[in-house]
Structure 1
Amino acid sequence: MHREPRLDRFNDNVLAKYQVYNSIFLTLPYSDIRKTGALLPLFQEICETGFNNNENPSQIVDLFFEKYGENPSEEEKVDLLFRFIQYIERQVVLFDAIEDASFSIVNNMDGRGTLRSVKEEAEAKQKVGELKDYLKRFNVRPTLTAHPTQFYPGTVLGIITDLDKAIQKNDLVKIRQLLAQLGKTPFFKKEKPTPYDEAVNLIWYFENVFYQSASKIHNYIQQNIFDGEDIGNQVVNLGFWPGGDRDGNPFVTTEITLRVAKRLRRTILLNYYRDIRKLKRRLTFREVHELMTEIEKGLYDSAISKSGSIKLTLEDFKSKLLKIKSILIEKHQSLFIEEVDDMLNKVHLFGYHFATLDIRQDSSIHEEVLAEISKLNPELIPSNYNDLNDDEQIKILSNVKGKLDPEEMEEGMMKATISSMFAMQEIQEKSGELGANRYIISNCGSVQGVLQPFAFLKMTGWEKPSVDVVPLFETVPDLQDAHNVMEKLYTNPVYKDHLKRRGNKQTIMLGFSDGTKDGGYLMANWSIYKAKESLTKISREYGIKVVFFDGRGGPPARGGGKTHQFYASLGPTIENEEIHLTVQGQTISSNFGTKDSCTYNLEQLLSSGVSNEIFSNGKNVLKDDDRKTMTELAEISYETYTNFKKHPRFIPYLEKMSTLKYYAKTNIGSRPSKRNQSAELNLSDLRAIPFVGSWSQLKQNVPGFFGVGTAMEKLEKNGEFAKVKQLYDNSEFFRTLLENSMMSLTKSFFPLTAYMKNDEEFGEFWQLIHEEFERTKKMLLKVTGYNVLMQNQPAGRASIQARERIVLPLLTIQQHALRQVQELSKNPENAGKELETFEKMVTRSLYGNINASRNSA
């Protein structure tokens, strides 16, 4: 369909359109916009030339006012810089909308990795039987999380959606109108959102995008691969964290958990209701029409019920649809049968829960709760519990008898934790078991870590809890020990019985972002790979099907990057029948923000599992030599990164020279930016998002590359570079890692902070980072044979460059403001209002930068 190369399609359909629509935006008839719009391109040019001439951000800002200002006062300068920030934010939105509108043109919707190409490849290789067998077992579960890696209020998301449609139709009148609306719509919130607000914002994607895309995929598989037969499997299902993720978020309460579950239920009921109304206009035949009226009324009454009571049970809904289907076949020549099948598939996929609401809490909180229970209820947990050895503790947790009543507890962590488990029971009663059936334990590193919440579930009187207890292994030592922890659980008679009731399936979560923060890029990814191998091996030995749930973020530094390539590269030693992953922030809007991009990316994930299992022919098996090389690289990289982290300037640099402390002021997420509220900054308490985000705002992207260059260079100096090259040629896993690292490097821009090399306190530290950047770039180009980074992804590279160009003035303003803050902080008593103004400027410029890094997905 699209004959020209992808880069040309990108240039013609995204870049060229952006230039046209941006020029409309520049000439909107608002005096402040017109003036800003005229000056911004001039400022952009001065930024570009200034950095080429090694000038610092403040010199660039001064030069601009000297050249184009008419002797402005300090107040006028500040005012214009704030207007530039607002303006650039809206340019980012415009670029997003144009990329969304052109998605199906730039990406080949029937090309490699889509279901159509998978089906054709299976036919060509005579593997249709294997493909069908695999699709009966396989599923993909994207789990939306509210982690604050993007900031767009709902009003702006609505404008992006409308702009996307108007751009597809090239409706200039409408586009102009929407750009005018965008110019007047506020972008930032005065108050932090509540977890319920976050949930409502994200449910919008379920209601308007996933509902259609997931069922479209399911229908395609049923009709084109299974010839209309029932697949007997939910190939796509959905997960949800806002309202259930308590880890480090004191604002998530049991009441909010129940409200979010109710909102999910109400949303899916209304979606069904709208579809049934449409279908009812077609199904006007005798016997059928009456049944449709009953369904319509039952759905409507259930959706508007204040108490949340269900007037039409899910079983009743399904059986009425099946009855309608058989009447259509018997008496009405199967008219509109496909529409009824579509409806049945949706009900099968989303039930009354829409998405599974996961509950998550940190293991340290569970320990606090346990200590409190042993103090108040020694008959449940003996008061000398902490003095006992591991085996004795495990025995007590496994055989808990007795019941707790949250009503009798004082407000606090114990009550919150136990009542969240009662909430899971309530949600299951109203929305079905899939409404909330997973309890995730962050920072889990021991058998007790898994058994504590398991014991709490029993203490709610839930003798046989229909809940999967999911450990989340995050740090490098925890990942290395994970298989030992699981083996002890698999041999524990009580837990073994529990797993049997759960279909002998164990979900295990692995944390990429905290792993990277702890161990650096190569070590984190390699540790997770090896942990998956040893967990797969031990689970298979005990007849347990292990499901890996990956806590992958947006950028490569948080486990993101080209996700489907990553899954396709895993090989047979890693269980890969279900792909569960977290999706957050800008990754939601960039990968799943429209029906086209959502369908395409879900299909890519599905096909990655298929190609890994059915088409790989042993290509993705790591040979022993390559494993040794990978281990060697990871260890050198780990040592390099660990020494870097221990550098006495590491924490002070982040505190003084980056935007770290401003993350807490942005009001983009309900969760505090660190787990512990102590004044002293401690790296282990620091959330991965502000950590990675701060490096990204500095345009240094350290977590995505630090240690990679040193590791490869060391082998080169030992005359062993051929081993690295061989690993790169043989291993798709290693290639994917390096490609994602290249993305981090492509988004780095050291001229922005080059002024720091002359800083008395941090000059040497900046130099250290810059040298590792240059080293990694050089080694990556050498091993890949490329002339430029991301040479194999020209359209992706062009998209990053376009976005980086849009935000360069914003970054310049942010760095200028940070420099002013540092200067004014030397004498805070004389700084007064000025210090406050520049701090506000740093915070405001965070938004646009966060949103612009959307294609880090």
Structure 2
Amino acid sequence: MAKQTLAARAARSTATSAPDKDAPLKEDIRLLGRLLGQVLRDQEGEAVFQVVETIRQTAVRFRRESDAQSGTELNRLLKKLTRDQTISVVRAFSYFSHLANIAEDQHHNRRRRAHLLAGSAPQQGSIAYALSRLDDAGVPGASVRSFFREALISPVLTAHPTEVQRKSILDAEREIARLLAERDLPLTPRESARNTQLLHACIATLWQTRMLRYTRLTVADEIDNALSYYRITFLRELPALYDDIENEIAAQFPQRHAGELELPAFVQMGSWIGGDRDGNPNVNAGTMRHALERQSATIFDFYLDEVHALGAELSVSTLLVGASPELLALAEASTDASDHRADEPYRRALIGLYSRLAATARSLGAAHVLRKEVGTAPPYAEPAEFTRDLQILVDSLKSHHGAMLIKPRLATLRRATEIFGFHLATLDMRQSSDVHERVLTELFARAGACPDYAALPEEEKLTLLREELAKPRLLYSPWLGYSAETESELEILRAGREIRQRYGERAIRNYIISHTESVSDLLEVLLLQKETGLLHLGWDGAQGGAARMELMVIPLFETIPDLRCAADIMQRYMALPEVRRMIAARGDLQEVMLGYSDSNKDGGFLTSNWELYKAETRLVGLFEGAGVKLRLFHGRGGTVGRGGGPSYEAILAQPAGTVNGQIRLTEQGEIIASKFSNPEIGRRNLELLVAATLEASLMPHPGQGRQGRRIAGFEAVMDALSENAYRAYRHLVYDTPGFTDYFFAATPIAEIAELNIGSRPASRKASRRIEDLRAIPWGFSWGQCRLLLPGWYGFGSAVDAWLQEDADPKEQKKRLGMLRAMFKEWPFFATLLSNMDMVLAKSDLAVASRYAELVPDRKLRNSIFKRMVDEHERTVACLALITGSRERLAANPLLARSIKNRFAYLDPLNHLQVELIKRHRASVAAGSQTDERVRRGIHLSINGIAAGLRNTG
């Protein structure tokens, strides 16, 4: 099989005689499974291998053949394992999940290439498909070009406590992916054998590498982990994507009189790692400075390597071809004076560029430059200077028969300088509104301006804040003492100012306020910016003088009540004259962030999605009336319960006018690894993001006619459904006595909190209240026990209650018809149901019942679990009524098969996790010393289940 070419495999998979397109995937999984078995034999011995193999075969029979006897046998096998055998079994099944993920990713790449080789029509989610849709809809090329000139699309990487992969593991898995891809090439027998040997070695390396961290991850570790994805994917794939988009636009919308299309840097990377201190006491001014130093060092390493490589490649001689005066001047200014390169101006110029880059890197904190530069040169003052120098090389080559020498490397490097600058990614700052209030309360009191700011009513707070903003003097005095919190918060803002001065304004430009509940929450951050030199309101006495807010103040609306108040808060905020002047100075653009995770934890799946939709719609109307451009920042997590699911469909399902060429969204936890650890997969995900934003911004939306009235009718139904779902969800989670006890007993939340998988605590406060628990471990825990409650609970009750409101069977049939029409005609509702369908496909009540047995109070256990089972059955039944399909993922058979195949390997992990949790908690309750092997087994199982479910956090 390894000797077959990609074309042969693709042809075979598409031929009518062999319709199984997944045959190569199955062969890859069998190969990896066989090699893992060999490693298990070599490392653990034949007896352990046989135990694992017997469990595997039994689990497969139980899952795929619904064999009850196999289920009983599986339980018997798992319960009689020794502690050491348990660890080996958990590791084996965990690594199989990892290897299956690698094989699936490679198969996605293979299938995409097969489509391209076959000349198939553009696939949904591609730029070519998006442009074709726009062309068919009559959108002119001028509108497309205008979109790219004004757009900003920004994936923002965040660090959250669900990233369960160590970097060492990820590195080994990337090499396995590379070797697996190599097998699609035509290989000689020797090359094929060598490839198999290397795969075997990589899997053995995995087996001998510690899967878990024994020490808690630091913020510095999280920064370095995130930067690895830039080296793997973003630094090369993002500039290359720009080239593809330019080519597709030129082909679809050719220009008659203009020159070449060159896109501005409309896709820019963002990060929260090192700047997000909401609930994370480990983030401070030092971590911010460290984040930018490491980011800058990463991009300079890339630039220096590329310039060095260009110096080797551009051996162009003026004895053979000319060069522009600007290029010759750049060569003359170079630090290189070698006679050997007297006729090679490009090389001399690049040696000079390298010297200036090295000097710049050192000035920005680089500890060492790998290759010593020739001579000394002044550093670049800003990235634009470096870009201009590279452009001189480009222009000279173009005008002297060297255009073909630009594309391979020089064009990509020049584009990268525009995208990444000297900062790599924009670092957002985030803090909770209650912290700002405490800091200002102390500042006001120490300055004698107000004895207790926090106790003031909202209107009095606003009056005081506006008066203080209008004054040129500061509240802070270096001669007074302040609390550690106040000093830390002010130092963080001062660090933000220094970072902007050092790395450029794009390095830090946003300040996000968690738990925004009032206008004063926004003005507080403006005043803190003033206190630290980041805000200027023209205190030169001039009426309406220059207003400059260096950091955009961005509210984050998270809970259901906050989402409902979002438009009113923004209306009052933007109506303030001083605020309106600052927004105007920023190009009449204001960003608003919406929280998917906390709104779901607060109000449940259906209500969260609906309140987000309504908040967006109200904000669009408000901003249009105010003449301000709205940019929405979507705080999406990995799970559907936290706003996850396919990004392409999610963006297209946004209300009309909410995208408009401007979008930011978070990429969180292990989703970063699944999306961007493979360059080809990463490129595809970036393309999906751009294509969706393009379509959502420019495709015509339903107007005010019949279709508009139809959507209005759908929205009225959603209001009723949401109200029903909210009651059902809140009644279970917040109003049921003992639910918190059930949750902490029936899920591995306590064990997850012990894992060294993030620098952030699992809870915002030292309590067991659901309200205080962070939404990330909340969703992660429900995934581990296979209930995935945040992704579906309340839907069945909502639909059932709405259908039963009228006892007339004809009316009920009419209502069901309305729901079916919503599913067929309304992207929002269709995406909602599609995401829920995926969650239900991954849930398993039989497995969840094993976790319910961990609840010591039998009455509480039976009562709550029965309610969840009943709601699950209602939800499945209602989904089938609306979609017409009783099969999960009927519209996505590839994913359905993937889930079905991997469940057989998840079952043993779940069963063993329950057994290990029982042992662990029993020893804790007895006051005995915790068996480290048991704890390690639990944590290994958490890793394996997360890998098997994939979008779990």
What TM-score comes out, normalization by structure 2 length?
0.84
**Corresponding residue of 1:502:** 586
Quote the Cα distance in structure 1 between the aligned partners of 2:62 and 2:125.
Answer: 43
8 Å Cα contact 1:240/1:358 also seen in 2: yes
**Corresponding residue of 1:103:** 108
1:93 matched to 2:98 = yes
1:733 matched to 2:733 = no
User: 1:230 Cα shift?
Assistant: 4.8
Quote the Cα distance in structure 2 between the aligned partners of 1:570 and 1:675.
Answer: 30
* Cα-Cα RMSD: 2.7
**Corresponding residue of 1:185:** 209
Partner residue of 1:287 out of 337, 345, 360? 345
1:80–1:570 CA distance, 2 compared to 1 (3 A): same
**Corresponding residue of 2:786:** 699
Quote the Cα distance in structure 2 between the aligned partners of 1:703 and 1:369.
Answer: 35
Partner residue of 2:527 out of 433, 436, 455? 455
**Corresponding residue of 2:571:** 487
Give the secondary structure class of the aligned counterpart of 1:144.
strand
Give the secondary structure class of the aligned counterpart of 1:762.
helix
User: 1:630 Cα shift?
Assistant: 1.1
Quote the Cα distance in structure 1 between the aligned partners of 2:758 and 2:833.
Answer: 31
User: 1:161 Cα shift?
Assistant: 0.9
8 Å Cα contact 2:237/2:679 also seen in 1: yes
Give the secondary structure class of the aligned counterpart of 1:30.
helix
Partner residue of 2:398 out of 329, 345, 348? 329
8 Å Cα contact 2:656/2:701 also seen in 1: no
1:84 matched to 2:173 = no
8 Å Cα contact 1:563/1:605 also seen in 2: yes
8 Å Cα contact 2:637/2:643 also seen in 1: yes
User: 1:114 Cα shift?
Assistant: 0.5
Q: Percent identity over the alignment?
A: 24
**Corresponding residue of 2:892:** 793
- More off after superposition, 97-106 vs 506-515: 97-106
Quote the Cα distance in structure 1 between the aligned partners of 2:824 and 2:395.
Answer: 56
1:117 matched to 2:129 = yes
User: 1:112 Cα shift?
Assistant: 1.6
Residue-by-residue CA offset, 1:704-723 (whole Å, 9 max, x unaligned): 00011111122333412222
Quote the Cα distance in structure 2 between the aligned partners of 1:407 and 1:662.
Answer: 47
8 Å Cα contact 1:46/1:64 also seen in 2: no
8 Å Cα contact 1:50/1:60 also seen in 2: no
1:782–1:460 CA distance, 2 compared to 1 (3 A): same
Quote the Cα distance in structure 2 between the aligned partners of 1:440 and 1:270.
Answer: 30
Give the secondary structure class of the aligned counterpart of 2:512.
strand
1:553 matched to 2:637 = yes
Residue-by-residue CA offset, 1:809-833 (whole Å, 9 max, x unaligned): 11110112233445556x614xx24
Give the secondary structure class of the aligned counterpart of 1:760.
helix
Quote the Cα distance in structure 2 between the aligned partners of 1:674 and 1:172.
Answer: 45
User: 1:800 Cα shift?
Assistant: 2.3
Partner residue of 2:883 out of 784, 787, 793? 784
User: 1:392 Cα shift?
Assistant: 2.9
Which amino acid counterpart does residue 886 of structure 2 have in structure 1? N
Quote the Cα distance in structure 1 between the aligned partners of 2:438 and 2:276.
Answer: 18
User: 1:801 Cα shift?
Assistant: 2.5
**Corresponding residue of 1:340:** 410
User: 1:515 Cα shift?
Assistant: 0.5
**Corresponding residue of 1:246:** 277
**Corresponding residue of 1:72:** none
Give the secondary structure class of the aligned counterpart of 1:242.
coil
Give the secondary structure class of the aligned counterpart of 2:556.
strand
8 Å Cα contact 2:394/2:406 also seen in 1: yes
> In the TM superposition, what are the counterparts of 1:227-266 in structure 2 within 5 Å?
229-266=260-297
Residue-by-residue CA offset, 1:320-353 (whole Å, 9 max, x unaligned): 1122222223334434233433222111111111
Quote the Cα distance in structure 2 between the aligned partners of 1:407 and 1:174.
Answer: 65
User: 1:512 Cα shift?
Assistant: 0.2
Quote the Cα distance in structure 2 between the aligned partners of 1:475 and 1:487.
Answer: 19
1:138–1:447 CA distance, 2 compared to 1 (3 A): same
Residue-by-residue CA offset, 1:60-111 (whole Å, 9 max, x unaligned): 6761168xx7xxxxxx711111111222222222122222322312345751
User: 1:741 Cα shift?
Assistant: 0.6
1:575–1:856 CA distance, 2 compared to 1 (3 A): same
- More off after superposition, 25-34 vs 239-248: 25-34
**Corresponding residue of 2:714:** 626
Which amino acid counterpart does residue 343 of structure 1 have in structure 2? L
Partner residue of 1:671 out of 743, 760, 772? 760
8 Å Cα contact 1:56/1:753 also seen in 2: no
Residue-by-residue CA offset, 1:279-307 (whole Å, 9 max, x unaligned): 22232334333221111122233335574
- More off after superposition, 736-745 vs 713-722: 713-722
> In the TM superposition, what are the counterparts of 1:176-575 in structure 2 within 5 Å?
176-226=200-250, 229-285=260-316, 286-305=344-363, 307=365, 311-313=379-381, 314-338=383-407, 339-379=409-449, 382-398=450-466, 399-400=468-469, 401=471, 402-403=473-474, 404=476, 410=482, 412-462=484-534, 463=536, 464-575=548-659
**Corresponding residue of 1:145:** 158
8 Å Cα contact 1:781/1:789 also seen in 2: no
**Corresponding residue of 1:653:** 742
Quote the Cα distance in structure 2 between the aligned partners of 1:123 and 1:543.
Answer: 29
User: 1:651 Cα shift?
Assistant: 0.4
1:376–1:683 CA distance, 2 compared to 1 (3 A): same
Quote the Cα distance in structure 1 between the aligned partners of 2:739 and 2:802.
Answer: 27
Quote the Cα distance in structure 2 between the aligned partners of 1:351 and 1:579.
Answer: 20
Quote the Cα distance in structure 2 between the aligned partners of 1:359 and 1:616.
Answer: 36
Give the secondary structure class of the aligned counterpart of 1:648.
coil
- More off after superposition, 615-624 vs 138-147: 615-624
**Corresponding residue of 1:639:** 727
Quote the Cα distance in structure 2 between the aligned partners of 1:358 and 1:501.
Answer: 20
Which amino acid counterpart does residue 805 of structure 1 have in structure 2? A
Quote the Cα distance in structure 2 between the aligned partners of 1:357 and 1:56.
Answer: 53
Quote the Cα distance in structure 2 between the aligned partners of 1:659 and 1:534.
Answer: 39
Quote the Cα distance in structure 2 between the aligned partners of 1:635 and 1:687.
Answer: 24
Quote the Cα distance in structure 2 between the aligned partners of 1:292 and 1:450.
Answer: 48
Residue-by-residue CA offset, 1:535-578 (whole Å, 9 max, x unaligned): 11111111111100001001101100112111112242434321
> In the TM superposition, what are the counterparts of 1:53-64 in structure 2 within 5 Å?
63-64=76-77
8 Å Cα contact 1:428/1:435 also seen in 2: yes
Quote the Cα distance in structure 2 between the aligned partners of 1:194 and 1:55.
Answer: 47
**Corresponding residue of 1:765:** 864
- More off after superposition, 179-188 vs 283-292: 283-292
8 Å Cα contact 2:304/2:358 also seen in 1: yes
Structure 2 portions without partners, runs of 5+: 1-6, 117-121, 184-194, 317-343, 368-377, 537-547, 807-811
1:843 matched to 2:939 = yes
Quote the Cα distance in structure 1 between the aligned partners of 2:657 and 2:75.
Answer: 59
1:845–1:331 CA distance, 2 compared to 1 (3 A): same
Q: Which has more radius of gyration?
A: 2
Partner residue of 2:802 out of 698, 715, 724? 715
8 Å Cα contact 1:629/1:727 also seen in 2: no
User: 1:254 Cα shift?
Assistant: 0.8
- More off after superposition, 415-424 vs 304-313: 304-313
**Corresponding residue of 2:188:** none
Give the secondary structure class of the aligned counterpart of 1:182.
helix
User: 1:605 Cα shift?
Assistant: 1.7
User: 1:54 Cα shift?
Assistant: 7.0
Quote the Cα distance in structure 2 between the aligned partners of 1:306 and 1:576.
Answer: 36
Residue-by-residue CA offset, 1:398-418 (whole Å, 9 max, x unaligned): 333434368965562211211
What TM-score comes out, normalization by structure 1 length?
0.93
8 Å Cα contact 1:26/1:34 also seen in 2: no
Quote the Cα distance in structure 2 between the aligned partners of 1:415 and 1:164.
Answer: 48
Residue-by-residue CA offset, 1:719-750 (whole Å, 9 max, x unaligned): 12222112112211100011101111111111
Which amino acid counterpart does residue 712 of structure 1 have in structure 2? V
8 Å Cα contact 1:475/1:518 also seen in 2: yes
1:235–1:573 CA distance, 2 compared to 1 (3 A): closer
